Structure 1
Amino acid sequence: MTAGHPASWRRYSLAAFWRRLLSPWRTRRLLEAHLIVLFVLAAVASTTLFLSCRQAQHGAEALASREAPAVQGLAATRLAALRADQEAQVLVRMNLLGVAGSDEPYESQLSAADQGLSRIADRTDQDLGTVKGVLDSYSDSLSRAASLRDEPLMQKHKLTEADSMLTRPTVGVVPRLDALQRVQMEHAEATATMGRWQHGGWWLAELALGAMALTLLSALFVLRDRCGRDWNPYLLAAFVLTVLLAVVPLTTTLSTGNDLKEAVKDLRQITDVSRNSGPRLAEAQQRVTETAEEVRRKTADSAWTDEVYQGTLVGGLMAIVLPVLGLGLRLDHDYWRRR
């Protein structure tokens, strides 16, 4: 008969094994031990889960609101500055620099570069004052060159001076922007990457939740085996909640992490395009704009971590309260009142 029902035999063997393992304990002490263990595990799991979710949420928010716009802004500023120089050189070759109405193309690019730096000033910890000052000096040199249309030698001198301010190694606008871009990309990658402590927090939370689920099953078994109570709604609800806490926040964080990695890959592409555009600056600007929209979409997809974070906070508190109610009420009704 038992050979024909291996599943039933396994269930019976497991129940018999657990019954023998718990047999030295008196029922009251056993329930009290389960209550203490559940409280400790729930507190550890809820705390680590809360901290891990908060860190993931902060990382997603920081990338979307600070790091990504800063990387995009630096790339756009670099391309706009180079595009302004390109437009000015075209006017020089056509002998139109300084002619009324002809300066609009490079002036609009200079304005875009200046506005780009202003927009990201509060989104980066790096000092933009120096590069903004050099960019202003470059703009001033171009303006003076335009005003010297009737003095070719002086105009050539000012154009050479402007070109030096733009491309001079280390101290020019472009090299300074390159250095800022390298640091900003490092910040973005660090923000989107889960560190060792974050990994440890998730492992601890998942292990605590797994141990809590097993302890809840053990408590339900004790209540059924020794107290004749088949169902305890508080412990059943706590078990379901424990499974949800073990699955939903982790799944959300992994999905968000993948979105952030893809966003960082796009940010790296934006930086590479701004550095390797060659003379095709207009096309590079268009590519940067399109990729920036893609980054915004991907970082917006991770915004729902805020809802999961709030749900984890509420669920963590309930995971502490429900087992205490389930076992505490039973102990109070069957044992503590009889003292």
Structure 2
Amino acid sequence: MRFGRRPGERAYRSRTRRLLERQLAAMLVTAVVSMSALLVSYREVQISAGEMRDRGAPAVQGVAATQLALLRAHGEAEFSVKSGIADVVGAGARYENQLAAADQGLSRLSDVQIDGDRGRGVLETVNGLLTSYSSSITPGAVKYVSDKPMQTEKFTEAETLLTRKGTGVVPRLDVLQRHQMDRIGTLTSMSPLRWSGWAVAELGLLAMALITLSALWVLRTRCGHSLDACLLLSLLAVVLLATVPLIAANRTQDQLATARDRLIRIEQRAHGQQDPDRRTHDLDALAGAQQAVTGESTRARAGLAAEGWQSGVYYGALAVGALLVLLPAVGIGRHLNADYWRTG
């Protein structure tokens, strides 16, 4: 003769079943929330590094290089006239090469500048001013070599177009550069929103680990099962997800901070050459600044190149995250089905 389970035993089994079901539901919800926050946060860091490498660094270099090329072109033109070289070589390569470099720099800037519509508007204005500047500086250096009053007038016009506060070519590019550096600061900093994303991810994974340990304890003490392999693997997945993406993100943030410092030095080098007393008398310093800007930009972009393991972390985390949802469902679901659901 078979007897049913005692009421106390049935109640105990019912409480255990409900506890495991709640733990399973909590693990699934926690896994989805923490993985979503983790993947979005990590992706944001990688996107920032890519934008810095592909647009940010070239844009800051482009503005600085254009400013330095214009300042050097003006200095070369004035030097050629004052030293009498203009009488021999005419327009020559003393400043026209620099004007051509500035024009090419502006063309590239239209594709990489990071100030949006406002930046495009500044570049359109600068292009128009540059045409007017060329129309003044070239006759002053070539056509009116023997006509000092006209030459002085043309150089004065060119000087005004180039450096007049607020409306000159170089000051307008300064404004664009400030806006771009503001954007660089946003790309390279950990904003409260980004911090909150990582906090949600890490706290969610911590909660996931605690729930997993609790489920293992329930299965062992209440159900008499040994340690479940699926839940142990799930616990290992939690540890990996809590550490590896965070290490990779910190590495990328360090790269972003280093690149930002290099771009700040680029901006400072270009700005430091805008002193009128230095511009026409220290052409060697301008040439050195141009080389330094190019070198700093190259190093900044090279430093932002993602290492192989950094590039694969996102997809690795995505795969491990899928396991983080699947493993608890298999591990706890199997015991629930065998011990409770199937037996009623």
Q: Write out aligned runs for 1:88-167 (5 A).
A: 88-97=77-86, 99-100=88-89, 103-124=92-113, 125=116, 126-127=119-120, 128-145=123-140, 146-167=142-163
Query: 1:83, CA displacement in angstroms?
Result: 0.7
Paired residue type of 2:337: D
Paired with 2:129 and 2:31, the residues of 1 have a C-alpha distance of 57
Q: Deviations over 1:66-117 (max 9, x none)?
A: 1121111111111111011111111111223364465213111111111111
Question: Which moved further from structure 2: 296-305 or 126-135?
Answer: 296-305
Decide whether aligned partners of structure 1 residues 328 and 24 sit closer, same or farther in structure 2, where only a CA change above 3 A counts.
closer
* Aligned residue-pair number: 317
- Partner of residue 292, structure 2: 287
2:25 aligned with 1:36 = yes
Q: Give structure 1 stretches of 5+ with no counterpart.
A: 1-22
Paired residue type of 2:292: R
Q: Deviations over 1:180-211 (max 9, x none)?
A: 11111111111111111111111111111001
Query: 1:140, CA displacement in angstroms?
Result: 2.2
Paired with 2:307 and 2:253, the residues of 1 have a C-alpha distance of 8
Paired with 1:26 and 1:198, the residues of 2 have a C-alpha distance of 40
Q: Write out aligned runs for 1:1-339 (5 A).
A: 26-97=15-86, 99-100=88-89, 103-124=92-113, 125=116, 126-127=119-120, 128-145=123-140, 146-277=142-273, 278=278, 279=282, 280-301=285-306, 305-339=310-344
Paired with 1:205 and 1:25, the residues of 2 have a C-alpha distance of 33
Paired residue type of 2:250: L
Decide whether aligned partners of structure 1 residues 302 and 76 sit closer, same or farther in structure 2, where only a CA change above 3 A counts.
farther
Judge conservation of contact 1:77–1:112 (CA < 8 Å) in 2: yes
Query: 1:261, CA displacement in angstroms?
Result: 0.9
Q: Deviations over 1:207-238 (max 9, x none)?
A: 11001001111111222222332232211111
Q: Give structure 2 stretches of 5+ with no counterpart.
A: 1-11
Paired with 2:341 and 2:250, the residues of 1 have a C-alpha distance of 45
Judge conservation of contact 2:16–2:222 (CA < 8 Å) in 1: yes
Query: 1:63, CA displacement in angstroms?
Result: 1.3
What is the SS of the residue equivalent to 1:241?
helix
Judge conservation of contact 1:83–1:109 (CA < 8 Å) in 2: yes
Paired with 2:136 and 2:86, the residues of 1 have a C-alpha distance of 13
- Provide TM-score, normalisation by structure 1: 0.88
Paired with 2:102 and 2:147, the residues of 1 have a C-alpha distance of 28
Judge conservation of contact 2:28–2:328 (CA < 8 Å) in 1: yes
Paired with 2:299 and 2:319, the residues of 1 have a C-alpha distance of 33
- Provide TM-score, normalisation by structure 2: 0.87
Paired with 1:198 and 1:330, the residues of 2 have a C-alpha distance of 39
How many percent identity over aligned positions? 44
Paired with 1:101 and 1:258, the residues of 2 have a C-alpha distance of 50
Paired with 2:107 and 2:334, the residues of 1 have a C-alpha distance of 62
Judge conservation of contact 2:62–2:105 (CA < 8 Å) in 1: yes
What is the SS of the residue equivalent to 1:194?
coil
Query: 1:24, CA displacement in angstroms?
Result: 9.8
Query: 1:251, CA displacement in angstroms?
Result: 1.3
Paired residue type of 1:265: D
Task: Provide the alpha-carbon RMSD of the alignment.
Answer: 1.9
